[in-house]
A and B are shown apart, each in its own frame.
Chain A
Amino acid sequence: MERIPILKMGDYLLVTIQVDMHDRLAMTLQDDLTDRIATTRARGVLIDISSLEIVDSFIGRMLGNIAAMSRVLDAETVVVGMRPAVAITLVELGLSLPGVRTALNVEKGMSLLQGVGAEQENLNGRGER
């Protein structure tokens, strides 16, 4: 079955969506990611959508679901690389991705995740996980 690869890098999971996703593929990614967050105990998920030419309400909902599910599993999600035309369209469509953190590119997204991780550690005073 067709799947979008999920890479593990340290405490983080990286996903680059490079295909025009049909709806079942999007659902599979959502399920796979939540599984991987649980099994790898990832602290963060970075989703690169710079190849996506559109984000419609279905994909928008998937991104929101992934962010919500990963938060429940104690991981942060950052969506990076949204094209400007996609952002304009998304807002006009009526979707502003509430609850989804975004960053301009992978580098900024990564430092956002690392910043959030460090902040939480200070708050909780927790060490390894």
Chain B
Amino acid sequence: MAVVKDETMSIRSSEDVVRVRQVARELAVSQGLGLVDQTKIVTAASELARNTLDHGGGGTVRLEAINSEMRRGLRLTFEDQGPGIPDIELALKDGYTTGGGLGLGLSGARRLSNEFEIFSRVGEGTRVTITRWK
């Protein structure tokens, strides 16, 4: 697997969430994703960036354009040093929220991605990785 582009951005404000959407869109376009796939990964990025900001107290996202032998894609890794998620299964349920939102961020982002990985430790932080292939 080859990483053709690699960029890390910090997420500290709601303006940063907008910038993450824009960079994710540019990468998705450069990787040749169709309009619907672009929209899905950018929407997922928006949800996860907001989670990083609101629940993780801010953090970073690493955006990678990746090429395997067979296909091209986009991998986004959101990381924070926030309180962590005690019950990941519960957090992945539709409608479960601690933040007063709709509780669709994490579960929705998973549905909008081809691959989804979450790692969280209470008191240490959370890392979510999503991939969308062309």
Asked whether A60 is an interface residue with its Cβ less than 8 Å from the other chain, the reply is yes
Taking CB atoms, residues of chain B closer than 8 Å to A31 are: none
Q: Which residue of B lies closest to A61 (CB)?
A: B102
- Residues of B80-134 contacting chain A, CB below 8 A: 94, 101-102, 104-105, 107-108, 111-112
- Kindly identify which residue among A21, A22, A88, A93 contacts B104, using a CB–CB cutoff of 8 Å: A93
Q: Work out how many contacts link A and B, with CB atoms closer than 8 A.
A: 71
Question: Is B43 touching A94 in the complex (CB atoms < 8 A)?
Answer: no
Q: Which residues of B contact A57 (CB under 8 A)?
A: 47, 101-102, 104-105, 108
Closest to B35 in A: A85
Please measure, in the bound complex, the distance between the C-alpha atom of A89 and the C-alpha atom of B42, giving whole angstroms. Answer: 10
Closest Cβ of chain B: how far from A20's Cβ, in Å?
Answer: 5
Q: Is the CB of B18 within 8 A of A89?
A: no
- Per-residue CB proximity of B29-63 to A under 8 Å, as 1/0? 00000011011101100110010000000000000
The answer to whether A54 and B42 touch across the interface, beta carbons within 8 angstroms, is yes
In the A-B complex, the 9 residue pairs with the closest CB atoms: A93-B108, A85-B39, A22-B14, A23-B14, A56-B46, A57-B104, A85-B36, A89-B39, A94-B104
Total chain A interface residues with beta-carbon distance under 8 A? 23
- CA A60 – CA B90 in complex, angstroms? 22
Residue among B22, B38, B43, B108 facing the most chain A CB atoms (10 A cut-off): B43
Residues of A within 8 Å of B22, CB to CB, are 20
- Do the beta carbons of A53 and B25 come within 8 Å of each other? yes
User: Is B15's beta carbon under 8 Å from chain A?
Assistant: yes
A24 CA / B17 CA spacing, docked (Å): 11
Cα A20 to Cα B22 with chains together (Å): 9
The residues in B between 7 and 23 inclusive whose CB is less than 8 angstroms from any CB of A are: 13-15, 17-18, 21-22
Q: Of B15, B38, B46, B102, which one neighbours A95 at CB under 8 angstroms? A: B102
Q: Given A54-B42, A54-B46, A93-B43 in contact, is the A20-B18 Cβ separation under 8 Å? A: yes
Q: Is A4 an interface residue (CB 8 A)?
A: no
Binary B-proximity of A51-91 (CB < 8 A = 1, otherwise 0): 00111111011000000000000000000000101101110
**CB atoms of B111 and A92 under 8 A apart:** yes
With a cutoff of 8 Å between Cβ atoms, the chain A residues found around residue B15 in the complex are 22
Question: Which residue of chain B is the closest to A93 with respect to CB atoms?
Answer: B108
Nearest B-chain residue to A19, judged by Cβ: B18
